Each structure stands twice: as structure tokens, then as C-alpha cells.
Amino acid sequence: MSFGGQTPTIIVLKEGTDTSQGKGQILSNINACLAVQATIKSTLGPYGGDLLMVDANGRQTITNDGATVMKLLDIVHPAARILVDIARSQDAEVGDGTTSVVVLAGEILKEVREHVEQGLSSQVIIKGLRRASDMAVNKINEIAVSTQEGSRRETLCKLAATAMTSKLIKRNSDFFTQMVVDAVLSLDQGDLNEKLIGIKKIPGGSLTDSLFVNGVAFKKTFSYAGFEQQPKSFDKPKIVCLNVELELKAEKDNAEVRVEQVSEYQAIVDAEWQIIFKKLEAIYETGAKVVLSKLPIGDLATQYFADRDLFCAGRVAGEDMERVVQATGATIQSTCSDIKSEHLGACDRFDERQIGGERFNFFEGCSEAKTCTLVLRGGAEQFIAEVERSLHDAIMIVKRAIRHTAIVGGGGACEMEISAYLHRFADKNIPHKQQAVIKSFAKALEIIPRQLCDNAGFDATDILNKLRVDHRKGSTWAGVDFTNEGVTDMMEMFVWEPSLVKINAIQAATEATCLILSVDETIMNEESAQPQAPGKALPPGAAQRALRGRGRGLPRR
């Protein structure tokens, strides 16, 4: 409908809403992602640096773990947050390669930016990237080497050592490699639940003072009077695990009782004592020497057990109790009246030991052991926290390698081989627009060996030229040699990675890139105070409106 030949203006969005769209929006999103990539790419590889990150509360974190860095970065740009998601997905699915996936996604965006600027449809670019990704994954599956069953432990050690080369603990990788492989092999091989690997951090000592406990170790719980009289070590003890509170409750806590004579009051008090003594006697008669409970064990029960040479610990953390159950074969009981022998757990040795400034309870030599504990030592809390993150990556790599036996060479060898393959394929088989997109994807893969060289202080251009020549001649596993600053065979150097790491990284990076390229319009609500791109100023009055909005209890975006 027209009014006097003019179409009326229809306002759909709220006043103050900021919109931007088109090619400029896509380029803005790409630039935001490149800013994130520039922050994290210096941490890649064995000679990558660490980032010192300080949050709003002044808490410090020193790390080069990609997932941790991305989680701690306070990224406000909506498109750049997608890189945080792919780092988390890589960490959850594989456990390693979190930095690689962000660097790779950023480089793919950088390479296709030129096509966007020239006006090539983003849908054509997306189609080409997906095709290149599928070809890359197929190539990895084709060249991957299947490890032999006989040398399983040796292979797992090599994979764990490769995962540690870029971490703080690389100097002690031989020590921690054995620890990580022992830890994963101690789990139930059916589900390989890495959460059953307990990690305890105790400041003090050196890295090599760290312990592997084939069983359970946890910090001494809160104790009452009588605890010091209890024995602190047993050989082959029976263990009972409870979810029962063993404390004497005063009558005023539970009910109001009216009495007329002192004898009636005394009968009530005696009844309460009888209730707890019956529980304690029932536990003692089971023959158990170690009593653990998720709930408090009071001073009366503590003294009762001490008089009978039993050890008890109350308020045991839920995850520690679960690992004790897995290790000793015990069953958690919610009552003391019907505890049978099959409900008890057992281990070869229980004792309480001093480690650093803490006392720990150790359950070792467990027959049912489907769990273990790593006790980490080190000079500073931040250092031990980074060691824990490093071991998590190695544990996840070993866990995946047990189920997926295919491996590829590290050090940029796999990426260079795929890059060379895609270049050859695009030249021969793809004559139209997608050829340029696939070649851009192939060039983007070279960022991994290039950044490895840059972070190590090598001449990246010279080494990449050598790698291109070697891969053209058929040297599938030629990669960056960090020892002699050159090129060498990664398989012979035992720089191995599970093929799953590479496949997941390429797929996640491609998905993120396609998602970012498909967004050509952003609509930001009035109360949102987030800029569209790093360094871009907010519209006049937007910050004030955002602050007013939050004051009224409106959602913060």
C-alpha cells in the first residue's frame, strides 16, 4: 500500500539497536578471529612461550595450554567466541591440539579473506572449504600408520612424550611418561574414565618427587579427639565405606520432649547413647580395620575406634570415596545394621604418611584397582597447576590411542603432506572457482610448521621450502627437526601423534571457519555494550544505556 507515492518507514527494531551487514561484517569477524589467533599462536610447539594471565581478582595463571588460555581470555566479540568453543571441543574430544585448532582456524580465515574482499560468494568459499576438509581427512586416514599390538606400551609412551614436548615438564618427560601410561592402563579398559585418576597437588620438593600410587591417596580429613591414638598403618585390612553420620546428637536438635521426672530424662539420654553404640558395635563386629564415611565421625566414635585399634576418617570427599570403592571393591552402606562381608573392601597396605606439609592416607596394592592417584610436587602452586594441565593432555592422548591405534607424524609433517596433496589435486582436477579456495586451505595448513619454526627462532621460509621439496619427492613424514634446525623424518624421530588429533582439529577448524563466513549480519541489542570488533568505538550513549539497563536488572549480554 502506498501513501502519496511514498512507502512509509517501518521501524521493526528497538531504537538504539546497532546493525551491520554485508561483506564488511564478514571481514570484521575475520579480523577479530585473527586478533585471537595472534595472541595464542606464540605458545605452539616445543619452543612456544607461556602466557601469564591475571584475572579481575588478581589470580595468576601461567600456561601454554590452548584450552586454558581461550577459557581465561575475556573475549567479547561474538564471532571470536566461536574459537573458544572449538578449543573446548578439541580438549573434550581429544585432549591435545587445542592451540593448533585455533591457529589453524585463524589461518584459514586469513587465507580466504582475499576471496571475500574480491567479492567471491561466501557460500562458494564454504563449499570449497568443506570439500578440502573432507579430502584432508581422507588423506590422513590413508597415510596413517597402525601400531602393532605387541609394542603397545612403547607406542603409548612415545605418544605421551610427544604430547609433553610443548609443556613445562618436557625436561622430565621420561619420568612423567611412565607415570601417565601406568595411570591410564590402571583404569577399567572398558570405559577408561579419566576422572578416576586422582591428582593431588602438594607444594614443595622437586618435580621428580611426584608419586604414582596404584590405588588411592587423599588428604587426612578433619579429626576429633582420640584420632592420634588410632593406629595409622595396617597390612591387608578390611575397609568399610559408609554414608552414615556417627555423631551423638543432643535431644534438642531433633525433638521437643516433656518429662516429669529426672529418670525419664535419663532414659531418653541413655537411648540416644544406645543408638550410636549399636552402630559402632555393628561396625566393629564386621572385622573392618578402616572406617570411612562421607558424613562426620564425631569424637565419641573416634575414641571408640581408637580403643579397639581401628582407623576412621569422616567427611571424605565424594570423588575420593568413589575411587576407594573402585580400588578396594567396597560398597557404600547407608546403614550400619546389615553390613556383610561382601560389602567390605580390601587392600594390601594402608598407612598414613607425611608428604610435604600435609598428611595423606594411602590405600595401596588394591586387588580391584581400577583407579590410581598422581601426587604432584613442585616449587610453586602455579607451576604444579600447569603440570596438572600438561598431564591431562598426555592422559587424554594415551586414552584415545588405546582405542584408536592409527598414528601420524608430528612436527608439521602431516600438515605439509596434506597441503602438498591438496595443491596437486586442485591443479589437476578442479578448474573452477573452488580451485582457489582449496589451494588457500592447503596454504593455511602450512601455518603449523611455519609457526613451529618461528617460535623456535628458526628460518621458517628456508625450512618450509625444504619441506615442500621433500614432500614433493615422496617423503611423507618429513617435518621440522628441532635438534639440528632442519628437516628430518618424524616417524624415525618418534614424534608421533594419534591421527584422531589431526582429524578432529581440521574438522573443528573448518566448521568454525564456515560458521564465521556464513554470518553476514550482526544485530546488537541496545543494552549490549560489546563492540563489534576490537578497537571499534561504541555508538554515542551506548555505554551509558548499557549501564542503565543493567541497573534495571535487564540481561547482560
pLDDT in tens, 83-129: 998 988 888 888 888 899 999 999 999 999 999 888 888 899 999 99
Element (H, E) at 234: strand 233-235
Put residue 362 in one of left, alpha, beta given phi > 0 → left and psi -120 to 50 → alpha. beta
Query: Looking at residue 529, what is its pLDDT?
Result: 46
- Nearest Cα to Cα of residue 129 among 431, 417, 425, 442: 442
Residues of the chain with CATH 3.50.7.10: 216-368
Query: Looking at residue 14, what is its pLDDT?
Result: 57
Domain spanning 18-146+412-454+500-521, CATH class: mainly alpha
DSSP per residue, 382-448? HHHHHHHHHHHHHHHHHHHHHH--EEEETTTHHHHHHHHHHHHHHHHH--STHHHHHHHHHHHHTHH
Query: Looking at residue 553, what is its pLDDT?
Result: 37
Residues of the chain with CATH 3.30.260.10: 152-214+375-404
All residues at 6 or more sequence positions from 395 whose CB lies less than 8 Å from its CB, including other chains = 95, 180, 183, 184, 194, 197
All residues at 6 or more sequence positions from 10 whose CB lies less than 8 Å from its CB, including other chains = none
Query: Residue 60 is placed in which grid cell?
Result: 595468576
Ranges of the chain whose pLDDT falls below 50: 1-3, 16, 18, 250-252, 529-557
Query: Looking at residue 463, what is its pLDDT?
Result: 93
Report the distance separating Cα 221 and Cα 393, nearest Å. 30
Q: What are the CA-CA distances from residue 146 to residues 170, 406, 503 (Å)?
A: 26, 4, 15
Fold adopted by 152-214+375-404: GROEL; domain 2 (3.30.260)
Parallel/antiparallel/unpaired status of strands 345-346 and 215-219? unpaired
Query: Looking at residue 505, what is its pLDDT?
Result: 92
Report the distance separating Cα 278 and Cα 57, nearest Å. 50
- Burial of 150: CB neighbours in 10 Å, binned 0-12, 13-18, 19+: exposed
Evaluate whether 542 touches 525 at the Cβ level (below 8 Å): no
205-229 pLDDT, tens digit each: 888 888 888 888 989 888 887 788 8
Query: Looking at residue 142, what is its pLDDT?
Result: 92
- Nearest Cα to Cα of residue 181 among 160, 167, 200: 160
Residues of the chain with CATH 1.10.560.10: 18-146+412-454+500-521
Domain spanning 216-368, CATH class: alpha beta
Report the distance separating Cα 449 and Cα 465, nearest Å. 11
The number of angstroms, rounded, from the C-alpha of 201 to the middle of its chain's C-alpha atoms is 17
All residues at 6 or more sequence positions from 119 whose CB lies less than 8 Å from its CB, including other chains = 23
Q: What is the dihedral of CA 440, 444, 446, 448, to 10 degrees?
A: -170
Give the amino acid at 250. A
Query: Looking at residue 9, what is its pLDDT?
Result: 60
In three-state secondary structure terms, 266 is helix
